[in-house]
Structure 1
């Protein structure tokens, strides 16, 4: 039941739409909850530790479930595997609004499991089905990802009074994932089986991905950029509210850091991923995040929109992280393995970020130590991104 038993999904315009809609559902589960985190905590009577765990649960689950994604893809084929991911996501979004704190955590874990499978497999679909347009389709994918995250953050707070509170506002995003599932089922179909591209004896010579040094560099880089992104998505809104920004404006700022990624996803990947090296682009974008974090530490209320725009620009390193996974591998099988490793281990590394950020703030009563820690993470991300972006194979 390996990859050679089924052909790649046929790269039609409808499949591009399916990829975009699937991608648009991979962030609202996180950003919708983050935008009303204070209300959720107060309504459930939850502790600061529970809140920190809730912000870390998605990235933990992304790491754990990503390990199973390649097996699911091989057993079911990409069409069915991504459909399963969207179905699991929809179920989790519904489950987490029906009861108390532990059900919220459990439903978030289930939803994040569906997201994790999509995180790993959709980039493989892009490489297999659109081999001559990886940069352009990656741009569409990451733009849809950013749009979904931004919309989830921007529209959840205004939905609250219309649907009776945070439960209805957060649960409403299940409708979007169900719609994406319908479109995916209509557009995803396998073509004729084709050879894997390896010679008969190549499998015996192939080193496990875990034994390849560059694979670990890519994984660490991916994990650290995920750490920065999920700290921003999990805590930026609360940080701004604590310094006097209104809840609605803080939700808009959270939306902005995602929405900024839409034009950047169309502009940067087609250029950067068609060049031999992506190192300069990665370092430049990470510098934007570093300036934003410094601003938040020194004067958070002085120019919150400036810090938001810089942080959103820096988070546009994400599509380059996905692109590097595809460019540093020779074929779809290696891409699947590296994608699973980078996202499986990387998201587990990234999960420590929101948890430690929140706990450090809870212990010190100040955002500054948490932001200093985040700045150190960004500096290390720069160094690893420079190495990961150099033109060579794992």
Structure 2
């Protein structure tokens, strides 16, 4: 055998190894990657808030039933749960950079599809868009821990601030665009933002030569066997329940109390906008402390006060209830940060992120649906708000448990 023949397999092996490294190495933590993370995150909420801010117009325009409307508000969280389960597999097969790129592409297709036809196409397009969101939900926190290990709190703050900003933009501008473009044009316009994010992500996300840290398969123990992982999952699901009830139904609640649709949309936007400065301030402080329990309980208490206010006197101080609810929903970045803090290795972070967001969002999906069903049965918001208050109390209890310093 010639020297050239002997060298060929080695070269092929080296090439294969370099290709694998490009797929499995940690993403290089550059400033452009931070921008890519922020823009990707900014697209993970407008698909929900844009639709909910013109929910009445969509329902009337399609001639849809109240049950269909409740299902539409629940579809995103159902899909977040189902699609999140496959996100780790997609990340391993394609690499995190390509997987998140695929997520942005799927989101863009779903946003366009859901405005081209009738009620079932709207549901199907929303499901596709939410599938893309689910993949980003799971894998972006992994990028934060893996590529910025010494700045988890700060980059988590940027990430969640971008999430809040995207949700706020969707709620603010969709009602303004609706008179000009109709609800289809106003809701479909957000596909342009996700397409732009895809371009930036493709430019800035690059795997480095250093492989992401992994635990040997023989040493890995399923997250399903870890009690703390279940506690984190339940906590994440309950906070998601509160958040998606607010995003799906708050505007309708205020409109039913005589508040103009545009003003109600601004109130929904304010909830998200409040999250922007809080996301910059709270995670870097709270996630650098030994325990996050006090922060979680304190923030959730604001949500509970808002729900009590909405139940007792919704029209008396709607802006105050909105602000309190917005402050309370700042518990979300702490939930994401806890996924990184309660794990030792990147592989554990991926598994816990998939479990917490997969099962958590499935739990959270019941919130908007039951909230709407109770309202439809009773004709008032009282029973629905009482259910939400009970969810917040449970969230506070679990938040105290998962906020204590330990590993899964």
Tell me if both proteins adopt one fold, taking TM over 0.5 as the criterion: yes
Aligned to 1:154: 172
C-alpha change, 1:3 and 1:66, in structure 2 (3 Å) is farther
Distance 2:268 2:169 in 1: 10
Alpha-carbon contact 1:5-1:193 (below 8 Å) kept: no
Alpha-carbon contact 1:62-1:115 (below 8 Å) kept: yes
Distance 2:376 2:292 in 1: 38
How far does the alpha carbon of each residue in 1:156-192 deviate from its partner, in whole angstroms, 9 at most, with x for none? 01101222x0000000000000000000000000000
Q: TM-score, normalized by length of structure 2? A: 0.94
Q: TM-score, normalized by length of structure 1? A: 0.97
* 1:304 partnered with 2:318: yes
Alpha-carbon contact 2:27-2:97 (below 8 Å) kept: yes
Alpha-carbon contact 1:4-1:193 (below 8 Å) kept: no
Alpha-carbon contact 1:41-1:51 (below 8 Å) kept: yes
* Higher Rg: 2
Aligned to 1:376: 390
Distance 1:54 1:335 in 2: 31
**1:346 counterpart (355, 360, 372):** 360
Aligned to 1:11: 29
* 1:90 partnered with 2:114: no
Describe how 1:101-112 pairs up with structure 2 within 5 A.
101-112=119-130
SS in 2 for 1:244: coil
The alignment of Structure 1 onto Structure 2 pairs a total of residues equal to 390
Distance 1:377 1:44 in 2: 32
Aligned to 1:62: 80
Alpha-carbon contact 1:8-1:192 (below 8 Å) kept: yes
Aligned to 1:136: 154
Deviation (angstroms), 1:223: 0.2
Deviation (angstroms), 1:203: 3.3
Distance 1:3 1:9 in 2: 11
Deviation (angstroms), 1:6: 1.8
* 1:217 partnered with 2:231: yes
How far does the alpha carbon of each residue in 1:220-270 deviate from its partner, in whole angstroms, 9 at most, with x for none? 000000000000000000000000100000000000001100000000000
Distance 2:28 2:22 in 1: 15
Deviation (angstroms), 1:205: 3.5
Aligned to 1:81: 99
Distance 1:103 1:205 in 2: 45
Gaps of 5+ in 2: 1-18
**2:292 counterpart (278, 298, 301):** 278
**1:125 counterpart (125, 128, 143):** 143
SS in 1 for 2:314: coil
How far does the alpha carbon of each residue in 1:131-173 deviate from its partner, in whole angstroms, 9 at most, with x for none? 000000000000000000001000001101222x000000000
